[in-house]
């Protein structure tokens, strides 16, 4: 009735989260994302560029509050993506 779950990670959630050895702020990155940093970094940058499009449209209509909102999202995505790519470059060296 209460058979052990063979799909569970050994050592519980804490061991699964620390699976790839990371230090410092890199521990904030999800392990799935950490394994594919270049892909997710590129996706974040592309998402930031796509989020800039509504900001430009809002600026053209004079809706500055929404434009600032979309620009903040775009800036956060581009900053996060470039951070991921810089970590990927440092790991490959």
pTM of the entire structure? Answer: 0.73
78, two tokens: 């581009």
Query: For the chain, which residues make up each domain, given as ranges?
Result: 28-92
Span 51-87, pLDDT tens digits: 999 999 999 999 999 999 999 999 999 999 999 999 8
Cα dihedral: 38, 79, 73, 66 (round 10) = -140
The predicted-structure confidence for 16-60, as pLDDT tens digits, reads as follows 555 666 677 777 888 788 889 999 999 999 999 999 999 999 999
């Amino acid at each position: 009735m209460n058979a052990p779950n063979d799909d569970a990670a050994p050592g519980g959630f804490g061991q699964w989260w620390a699976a790839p050895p990371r230090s410092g702020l890199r521990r904030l990155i999800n392990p799935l994302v950490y394994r594919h940093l270049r892909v997710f970094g590129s996706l974040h940058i592309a998402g930031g560029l796509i989020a800039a499009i509504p900001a430009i449209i809002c600026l053209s209509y004079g809706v500055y509050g929404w434009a600032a909102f979309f620009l903040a999202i775009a800036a956060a995505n581009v900053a996060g993506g470039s951070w991921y790519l810089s970590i990927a470059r440092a790991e490959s060296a």
